[in-house]
A and B are shown apart, each in its own frame.
Chain A
Amino acid sequence: MSLGRRAHRHAAWLFPAPAVLLVAAIIVYPIVYTGWMSLQEWFASSLTRPRFIGLANYGKIVLGDARFREAVARTVYFTIVAVAAETLLGVAMALLFNREFWGRGLLRTLAILPMVATPTAIALVFVMMYHPTLGVANYLVTTVGLSPFRWTYSSDTALYALALVDVWQWTPLIMLIALAGLASLPREPYEAAHLDGASARQAFWHITLPLLRPTLVVAILFRAIDALKTFDIIFVMTQGGPANATETINLLLFNQAFSYFNMGYAASMAVALFALVMGSSLILIKVRRSTAW
């Protein structure tokens, strides 16, 4: 058989091979390696080699490590608070921008600007704005008659202050996706409802929201995955403090890996975070497929 014919026969796997190899090298290999590392006790050093300890790391994070359990609860709570606020605001903004009014294009462009900015840069700006005595946030709060907050400088408020940054930056994403969803809605149900005498509010609850649901679930899915693994703004603004009040799984595992050099233990946390993200994504996808809310 000539080379050309042989190549032709095997084209089905020959052509995708480079791409498959690349994916294997940069995606599959690190995942498998992380899984393997999570079964070792390994303090990064050139003298002590990794030691295989089976599932002991997982036993420890599930049963022994209160700091990890708190981090999981905090991660989930942060995600729920941030994504809920983003969804409410995002849909409201989408409904607003779905109407025709003068200057809509300009305002819509301005509204999505936060999304384009670099999280680290934003975080640095918010650090300055949140400063309890020198920052502009407390100045604004006091001009409307409220008493000043401690923002990220108190363990009572720090998580909310961080969620606010996330909301500020990512609400536009939900808005954009919801706007696309609104644009694709059919007109007929509205006309029928109008003829039947439905109010605008009824049309929203019984037509717009149900039709928009699949789109919204996708938007929430994107945001939830992202919020679960938020790292940059927390690392820059609070480093997990005060007193661990904002230490999410990602922050904790970063500390374990790159401050304490507990590589194996950190890897097991990374796998746990992966399971959490995967699990919540599966639930959301199921919600999207099911017919009722």
Chain B
Amino acid sequence: MSARRFSRRTFLGSVVAGAAAGPFVWTPARAQGFTWKRFQGKELFLLLTKHPFIDVLEKNIPEFESLSGMRVKWETLPEIQARQKMTVEMTANSGGIDAFFTSLHVEKKRFWKAGWYHPLNKFLADTSLTSPDFDWNDFTPGAKAGVTQSDGSISALAAFVDANVFFYRKDLFGPKGLTPPKTLADLEPLVQKLHAPPGTYGIVLRGLKNANATQYPSILFPMGGTYLKDGKAALDSKEQVAALEMYTRLLRQYGPPGVVNFNWYECSASFMQGQVAIYMDGVNFASQFEDAAKSRVVGKVGYAVLPSGPGGHFSPIYITGMAVSSQSASKEAAYLFTQWATNKANMIRELMAGVGVGRTSTWDSAEVKAKPKMPADWYQAYQASLKIGRQGLPEIVGVTEYRDIIGVAIQKGIEGAPAAQVLAQAQKDFQDLLNRTEG
């Protein structure tokens, strides 16, 4: 796995090199060790994204200001607009952004290839820049892999880790003696038993193109499918056909009407309205289900890991992180902020607010256990999913374009087109995209 490239050896190597250089090269910072106040008086500008993680973080930024003596200014935009602003600012080489919140599942390779992430490997290995209690190895393997590029460079520090899980209505399962499915083979018969329209529909998954591409791997991965085989498009494999067949059949036969254009918003709305028995989506939506002001199913929702399949047991995960801009004039100061934003104390705050993070230690922290915001099975399902986490989308430059390609195939499938036929077209378009952008 690519994360391992930042191994203990390289870490120790650079520490030793630093220590060896120490006596001969006089650097005041190194002599003093780590201090948050090192860049006192500097000003940072952050580009942030509207996101539950950021909602929690923003409230604590003044704390960082007094800790570091720096002044922090920031702008929080919706994800798409933030990405557009980022692209414009970076293409124009404005240098106005010091650190930014990045959706790695979409931006990882594009931004890396464009040279917008400042690699953090050296900073992480530098004991004068990284707080002794930061502990890089506290991040789960999936979270580390998610922020590490194919050449071993670390592009960001993992912040929020989303995992797809299985939501179900305990009050509908209980009386029929049903339990969450262990395998994909159990899923369809189960959905069939619960399907009683128009009161209750068996299942809901995202149908809207592009959005559906993040949910499709919940079926595709256990089916044994992959996006790429030896660097070539693999959308027409028999595992792909079986997976798309199943995903679309479930929605066509047991989904609520109009599901073909449902984004997460419509999906969670129908689940919270009590119209649907089973819903598979990102684990973070659960906090709404348990909010009595928004949901009619408070306390009735069970949480479980996704079913496994012939190809194995996976949970598609999506990682966002804090990154340092390669165009920043104060990269080291910006790194202090990214480090602070993803340190243990802040991650515990996130978890207590119901935002999942990829730091192992936080899950067992006494604070979280004492005041759980969510039901116990939510924490269990989340933690178990992180252990079987796999990056949910292909790590390519044209992620958005890929999502549209597979997204349209899924929508055509839901509307009744044969899986093999729509995937043949998708395969052609996807390979064309790879030829254009990956060369």
Chain A residues, CB < 8 A from B110: 45, 261
- Contact, CB under 8 Å: B412 / A243: yes
Residue A47 CB within 8 A of the other chain? yes
- Contact, CB under 8 Å: B401 / A259: yes
A241 with B411, Cβ < 8 A, contacts A131-B258, A259-B401 known: yes
Residue B270 CB within 8 A of the other chain? yes
A153 with B257, Cβ < 8 A, contacts A45-B113, A241-B209 known: yes
Interface string of B405-417 (1 = CB under 8 A from A): 0001001101100
- Contact, CB under 8 Å: B411 / A155: yes
Residue A208 CB within 8 A of the other chain? no
- Contact, CB under 8 Å: B401 / A260: yes
- Contact, CB under 8 Å: A44 / B91: yes
Residue B116 CB within 8 A of the other chain? yes
CA distance A148 to B209 in the complex (A): 23
Q: How far is the CB of B404 from chain A (nearest CB, A)?
A: 7
Residue A169 CB within 8 A of the other chain? no
CA distance A258 to B270 in the complex (A): 31
Chain B residues, CB < 8 A from A158: 261
Chain A residues, CB < 8 A from B80: 258
- Contact, CB under 8 Å: A241 / B208: yes
Chain A residues, CB < 8 A from B113: 45, 47
Give the contacts of A116-169 with B (CB-CB under 8 A).
Answer: 131-134, 148, 150-155, 158
Q: How far is the CB of B422 from chain A (nearest CB, A)?
A: 9
- Contact, CB under 8 Å: A132 / B256: yes
Q: How far is the CB of A124 from chain B (nearest CB, A)?
A: 12
CA distance A153 to B84 in the complex (A): 28
Chain B residues, CB < 8 A from A134: 269, 273
- Contact, CB under 8 Å: A45 / B258: no
Q: How far is the CB of B185 from chain A (nearest CB, A)?
A: 29
- Contact, CB under 8 Å: B260 / A154: yes
Q: How far is the CB of B92 from chain A (nearest CB, A)?
A: 8
Residue A34 CB within 8 A of the other chain? no
Residue A238 CB within 8 A of the other chain? yes
- Contact, CB under 8 Å: A242 / B114: no
Option from A44, A132, A244, A259 in Cβ contact (under 8 Å) with B258:
A132
A133 with B114, Cβ < 8 A, contacts A154-B415, A255-B404 known: no
Chain A residues, CB < 8 A from B256: 132-133
Give the contacts of A40-95 with B (CB-CB under 8 A).
Answer: 43-48
- Contact, CB under 8 Å: B261 / A238: yes
CA distance A240 to B266 in the complex (A): 17
Residue A239 CB within 8 A of the other chain? yes
Interface size on A, residues (CB 8 A): 30
Give the contacts of A207-259 with B (CB-CB under 8 A).
Answer: 238-244, 255, 258-259
- Contact, CB under 8 Å: A132 / B91: no
Chain A residues, CB < 8 A from B275: 133
Chain B residues, CB < 8 A from A240: 209
- Contact, CB under 8 Å: A243 / B91: no
A133 with B257, Cβ < 8 A, contacts A47-B114, A255-B404 known: yes
CA distance A25 to B273 in the complex (A): 53
Helix, strand, loop or mixed for chain A's interface?
loop
Residue B115 CB within 8 A of the other chain? yes
Q: Which of A44, A133, A243, A261 has the most CB of B within 10 A?
A: A243
- Chain A residue with minimal CB distance to B273? A134
Interface residue range, chain B: 35 or more
A260 with B93, Cβ < 8 A, contacts A153-B260, A244-B408 known: no
CA distance A156 to B308 in the complex (A): 36
- Contact, CB under 8 Å: A150 / B114: no
Option from A46, A155, A238 in Cβ contact (under 8 Å) with B93:
A46
Q: How far is the CB of B268 from chain A (nearest CB, A)?
A: 13
Give the contacts of A242-291 with B (CB-CB under 8 A).
Answer: 242-244, 255, 258-261
CA distance A45 to B90 in the complex (A): 7
Option from B93, B198, B262, B400 in Cβ contact (under 8 Å) with A259:
B400
- Contact, CB under 8 Å: B87 / A44: yes
- Contact, CB under 8 Å: B400 / A46: no
CA distance A95 to B434 in the complex (A): 58
Option from A48, A132, A243, A260 in Cβ contact (under 8 Å) with B398:
A260
- Chain B residue with minimal CB distance to A148? B257
CA distance A153 to B251 in the complex (A): 13
- Contact, CB under 8 Å: B261 / A153: yes
CA distance A132 to B262 in the complex (A): 11
- Contact, CB under 8 Å: A133 / B198: yes
Chain B residues, CB < 8 A from A133: 198, 256-258, 270, 275
Interface string of B188-215 (1 = CB under 8 A from A): 0000000000100000000111100000
Chain B residues, CB < 8 A from A244: 209, 408
Give the contacts of B387-439 with A (CB-CB under 8 A).
Answer: 397-398, 400-401, 404, 408, 411-412, 414-415, 437
Chain A residues, CB < 8 A from B90: 45-46
Q: How far is the CB of B211 from chain A (nearest CB, A)?
A: 9
- Chain B residue with minimal CB distance to A255? B404
CA distance A41 to B330 in the complex (A): 33
CA distance A134 to B272 in the complex (A): 13
Q: How far is the CB of A133 from chain B (nearest CB, A)?
A: 6
Q: How far is the CB of B351 from chain A (nearest CB, A)?
A: 32
- Chain B residue with minimal CB distance to A243? B411
Chain B residues, CB < 8 A from A255: 404
- Chain A residue with minimal CB distance to B258? A153
Chain B residues, CB < 8 A from A132: 256-258
Chain B residues, CB < 8 A from A153: 257-262
CA distance A255 to B273 in the complex (A): 33
CA distance A223 to B213 in the complex (A): 37
CA distance A258 to B401 in the complex (A): 11
Q: Which of B113, B208, B260, B398 has the most CB of A within 10 A?
A: B260
Residue pairs across A and B with Cβ atoms less than 8 A apart, 10 shown, are A46-B93, A133-B256, A150-B258, A153-B257, A155-B260, A241-B408, A243-B411, A244-B209, A258-B80, A260-B398
B interface residues, Cβ below 8 angstroms from A: 80, 84, 87, 90-91, 93, 110, 113-116, 198, 207-210, 256-262, 266, 269-270, 273, 275, 327, 397-398, 400-401, 404, 408, 411-412, 414-415, 437
Q: Besides A150-B258, A242-B208, A261-B110, 11 other CB < 8 A contacts?
A: A43-B397, A133-B257, A133-B275, A153-B262, A155-B415, A239-B210, A242-B207, A242-B411, A243-B408, A260-B398, A260-B401
